[in-house]
Amino acid sequence: MSLDVNVTCESEEAASYTKTKNTRYLITDAAQDPKVVRLRCPAPNCMLRIHPYDRGFAHYERFTSGHHELCKSMKAATFGPGNRQYYDIQMPVGAEGSFIATEMLGQVGNYNSQLPVPGRVGGAGAASFLRTSTGDDVQVDRMRKADVSCFPAEQWEKASQCYAEVGPPFGIAVPTFVIESRSISQSRAEMLETMEVWMEAGVEEAWLVDPIAISYNQWLRRLDGNRVGGFNVLPTFGQVDVYVRDPATGNYTITTFEKPESVQSVTALPDFVMDFQRIWEMAMQDSEKYF
């Protein structure tokens, strides 16, 4: 399975830049138009970055309205002035690990529904549009998706003021709390960069959860029907990194838990405790059955 994309750029220079950034995905029999770049992104190894465009958020809206199937794989986008802007297209790797995100989303959703005044909780389909300035002059800079995003009721009320202007689901706002769960095709380095984006955008508390028990190479071999042999669990399996922002300074700290049975929210979700025991059991069972 693969994803083929024809990218129409604003100029030949832009097309050259797009080709450079996507060398591994470039289709050699390129289109006749020098402004068009043809790319092929094979699944399950996964990231295609479309560069560049310069029409800001309105361009993003037109792109999403005209590429429904492609946008199901959209992971992130930038659309602020000054820098080269892009879309990240993440090819799905199938159902592997999706049950983990569903379990975590369910636990946060259950917590939220029991609050006297519930906020809003969303999953990977809920895009958050991050802003780079406050006050009346709001500059939309990028779009991000997390496995779990949470807006308390008071924050959602402010975010929803922009709802009609930007569109569903969350409007121009940064979630108070997010969870990112590493998938089999994502490196830890990539996930650490993602966490930095969230914290720099102003998230109050963010968790990076690593439920990956086997390596990506092992996963690919067993995907082809080859049994790998011994089952060697990765040392990072079960790691939870909790990022917490200091409201006074804007700096954040990171606390790491090694395969905890549970983790309690530090600031963003008062009294919320996630049960990780079931999550680790589910992840391990899913990996063990192939060995």
C-alpha–C-alpha distance, residues 26 and 13, integer Å: 16
φ/ψ of 139, rounded to 5, equals -110, 115
**CB under 8 Å to 291, separation ≥6 — which residues?**
222, 227, 228, 229, 230, 231
* Domain at 150, CATH number: 3.90.1570.10
For residues 86 and 105, membership in a common domain is answered with no
SS3 181: strand
Are 171 and 163 within 8 A, CB to CB?
yes
The domain of 252 spans 98-288
Q: Quick check: 129 and 172 in contact, CB under 8 A? A: yes
How many domains would you assign to the chain?
Answer: 2
* DSSP-assigned letter for residue 148: E
Q: Do 75 and 118 lie in a common domain?
A: no
Instruction: Give the pLDDT confidence score for residue 8 in this predicted structure.
Output: 74
Residue 191 and residue 60 share a domain: no
136 with 74, same domain: the answer is: no
H-helix or E-strand containing 199?
helix 188-201
| Domain shared by 80 and 106, yes or no | no
Q: 261-290, pLDDT tens digit by residue?
A: 999 999 999 999 999 999 999 888 877 765
Residue 80, class by beta-carbon neighbours within 10 Å (0-12 exposed, 13-18 middle, 19+ buried)? Answer: middle
3-state secondary structure of 284: helix
- 205-210 vs 177-181, strand pairing mode: parallel
pLDDT single digits (tens) 195-234: 998 998 889 999 999 998 887 777 666 655 556 566 678 8
182 is written with which tokens?
A: 């590493």
Query: Before 118, cis peptide (omega within 30)?
Result: no
Tokens of 248: 């006074």
Which of the two residues, 56 and 36, has the higher pLDDT score? Answer: 36
Report how far Cα 272 is from the mean position of its chain's Cα atoms. Answer: 22
Residue pLDDT, tens place only, 58-68: 677 777 776 67
**Domain match, 107 and 44 both:** no
Residues 68 and 136 in one domain: no
* pTM of the full structure: 0.74
127 and 243 co-located in one domain:
yes
Q: Both 149 and 236 in a single domain?
A: yes
Are residue 83 and residue 120 in the same domain, yes or no? no
Residues 75 and 19: their CA atoms lie apart, in Å, by 20
Of 16-25, 173-182, 198-207, the one with minimum mean pLDDT is 16-25
Q: What is the DSSP letter of 289?
A: T
Domain boundary, last residue among 58, 90, 122: 90
